[in-house]
Amino acid sequence: MGRIRGGFVKVAAAVPKVSLANCNANGLSVAHLAQQAVEQGASIVLFPELTLTGCSCGHLFHQQALLQSAEQALYELLNIELEGVMVVGLPISYNSRLYNCAAVIAGGTIYGVVTKSYSTDNIFTAGRGMENRYITLCDQIVPFGSDLIFNLAGVKFGVEIGSDRCQIITPSAEMASAGAVINLCLDAQKRTEGSYERLKQSVAHHSNAIAGGYAICSAGYGESSTDCVYTGNAICAEMGEVLSQADGFHTDEHIIYADFDIDAIEATRQRGALTTSCDCYRVLELPDHIYVSSIERKINPYPFIPTDLAKGCAEAFELQALGLARRLEHTHCSKAILGVSGGLDSTLALMVVVRTFDLLKLDRKGIVGVTMPGFGTTERTYNNAIVLMQELGITLREVSIRAACEQHFKDIELDPTDRGAAYENSQARERTQILMDIANAVGGMVIGTGDLSESALGWATYNGDHMSMYNVNCSVPKTLVRKITEHLAQIEPNQKVKEALLDVVGTPVSPELLPADEKGEIAQKTEDIVGPYDLHDFFLYHLTLGASPSKILLMAEIAFKGVFDKQTIEKWLKMFLRRFFSQQYKRSALPDGPQVTAVSLSPRGSWSMPSDAQAAVWLSELE
């Protein structure tokens, strides 16, 4: 069927209740769990190490009766009708040696048997170096060894077993370099105090190291408790994030599921996450069909917002301040000039500059905050700007732009009732000119306030608020600007500053370039024009990760279910794509600024894109 829906593959990690050394009973349990997992949409069902026998049989593994029983149980699994792939563990004798193996089966066929590479006991032989081998198993001639990768409808996955994952260079790392986007581990992890948390951290870290998906499924209840206890640990992680887990003390069978984002993994690798390549693996083609009934993965609607909100906001804020501190030190500059409108972006920039001056032990009076009321300035934003500058102890200057703009309208023969682009942009450029000239007069640096979301949309006046000498907000999207400002309000000791910050957060986002309404309130609301920043930040994050528009739409439907319907999401996604492409020329001339989030649109390496690129291919996906 080609590519899977939305670029996701659903993997199930299924832990049966073990009937120790009773292969027939274990086979029946595997069949039952596999059917259940596929009915839930799983394409691949992973089972624990030595699934069909149990992992704690000891020297019983040398008994021919047990080996033959395991093969018979595998044979029975081949006869069940299952539209999916099973990865099942069993012992196999080859050339008078015993190997700990994993069989990959689908549609009645054994497509390959992977050997455990390293042995940690006196039962099994290490399979490392077993290459280009074949065995006869269940009356089929089957690829056998440690050099196998499986390809399911374009999705390559690898298999490793047990303690192989603990080696310095793991088989899964090598398989990832050979193209496996998902790696599966059949395990028999015993449970001791604290072991599960260590395992979870290890799996998450490893999935990040191999820039891919990783699923581990461990032996469960029913294994021998002679010297240890098995609780059926199961964990699925992707590029450092745990997607699902079974961490309880289970006494019955259980399954966890994870939808692995194949497109995101491949895009991350294409950007250089894996720098080596390995071609020593045999790639075995599985049936070109994947059964997916639904995507159940939880998708974060706010990917820029840190999980630990206070810690993440504090870190982002400090990075902004440290970036500016380095620039001020390098230029031997002790004065900073910025426009303070009482809006969200300029407020955060002001707080960053104040923090920077405190870090450098500079007098806050060296910060020149300029409020420049114009035709759309409201009393609410003006008052907040004044309160913040006064209470923070910086130098406050007020320069009205009304008279200058009116003169400019006359000079360029613009009817002031024409509220088009020239009317609006002349105000932004007038403000920028004032800031630049004050900076020249006092020997200071103009600090930019425009954020990442505005840059993505091109929602800035070219050579107006688009320009500065250093922009502290350039990598901070609007959703995070709001959260950082809220965080600063929560920790602010000055009650007046705290109240002003909270009111700024509650103020509608607006450039205030058009006159206020009859009630004196903001008439020009940005999100009414270009769409909700919640959606645009989501679009931006996933587009820069390499997701296609159709996939972004699908993920947004899941993430914003109950908030925005598909029609609304699609409308603003098309708007985003059109603006993102058409406004690249503004980003090609962005000033310097620190990257503090995962996404930067700096033209100096973070985001390279020609200004002439067309959006047609991207928009056509949504037709």
List, run by run, the mean pLDDT of 10-residue segments along the chain (623 residues): 67 94 96 94 95 93 96 96 94 95 96 93 89 95 96 94 91 94 92 86 95 94 81 93 87 92 91 74 84 76 96 98 98 98 97 98 98 93 97 98 96 93 94 98 97 96 96 98 97 98 91 71 78 96 93 95 96 97 96 96 92 96 90
| 3-class secondary structure, 19 | coil
Domain around 236:
5-285
In a domain, 188, yes or no: yes
Cα distances from 89 to residues 44, 98, 196, 453, in angstroms, run 14, 13, 22, 49
In a domain, 300, yes or no: no
User: Are residues 430 and 515 located together in one domain of the fold?
Assistant: yes
| 3-class secondary structure, 441 | helix
User: Are residues 75 and 199 located together in one domain of the fold?
Assistant: yes
* Structure tokens given for 421: 């682009």
Domain C-terminal end among 269, 285, 301: 285
* 327/592 Cα distance (integer angstroms): 10
In a domain, 303, yes or no: no
- Predicted local distance difference test score (pLDDT) of residue 4: 57
User: Are residues 476 and 376 located together in one domain of the fold?
Assistant: yes
Residue corresponding to tokens 């007069």: 441
User: Are residues 355 and 221 located together in one domain of the fold?
Assistant: no
In a domain, 479, yes or no: yes
- To 10 degrees, what angle do helices 549-559 and 533-544 make? 130
Task: Give me the phi and psi of 133, to 5 degrees please.
Answer: -105, 160
| b/e sequence 18-56, b meaning 16+ C-beta within 10 Å | bbebbbebbbbbbbebbbebbeebbbbbbbbbbbbbbbb
User: Are residues 263 and 132 located together in one domain of the fold?
Assistant: yes
In a domain, 535, yes or no: yes
- Predicted local distance difference test score (pLDDT) of residue 3: 43
Q: Do residues 449 and 473 touch, judged by C-beta distance below 8 A? A: yes
* 419/408 Cα distance (integer angstroms): 14
pTM (two decimals): 0.89
Domain containing 76 — which CATH number?
A: 3.60.110.10
Domains: count for the chain: 2
User: Are residues 318 and 278 located together in one domain of the fold?
Assistant: no
| 3-class secondary structure, 149 | strand
User: Are residues 360 and 494 located together in one domain of the fold?
Assistant: yes
Total Cβ atoms within 10 A of residue 119: 18
Count of residues making up the chain: 623
User: Are residues 278 and 314 located together in one domain of the fold?
Assistant: no
Q: Do residues 397 and 438 touch, judged by C-beta distance below 8 A? A: yes
Rg (C-alpha) for the chain, rounded Å, is: 30
Q: Do residues 502 and 485 touch, judged by C-beta distance below 8 A? A: no
User: Are residues 246 and 317 located together in one domain of the fold?
Assistant: no
User: Are residues 224 and 317 located together in one domain of the fold?
Assistant: no
In a domain, 296, yes or no: no
The dihedral region occupied by 145, where left means phi > 0, alpha psi between -120 and 50, and beta the remainder, is left
* 364/336 Cα distance (integer angstroms): 10
In a domain, 273, yes or no: yes
DSSP state of 67: H
DSSP state of 240: T
- Predicted local distance difference test score (pLDDT) of residue 279: 77
User: Are residues 206 and 352 located together in one domain of the fold?
Assistant: no
Domain containing 444 — which CATH number?
A: 3.40.50.620
In a domain, 519, yes or no: yes
User: Are residues 190 and 44 located together in one domain of the fold?
Assistant: yes
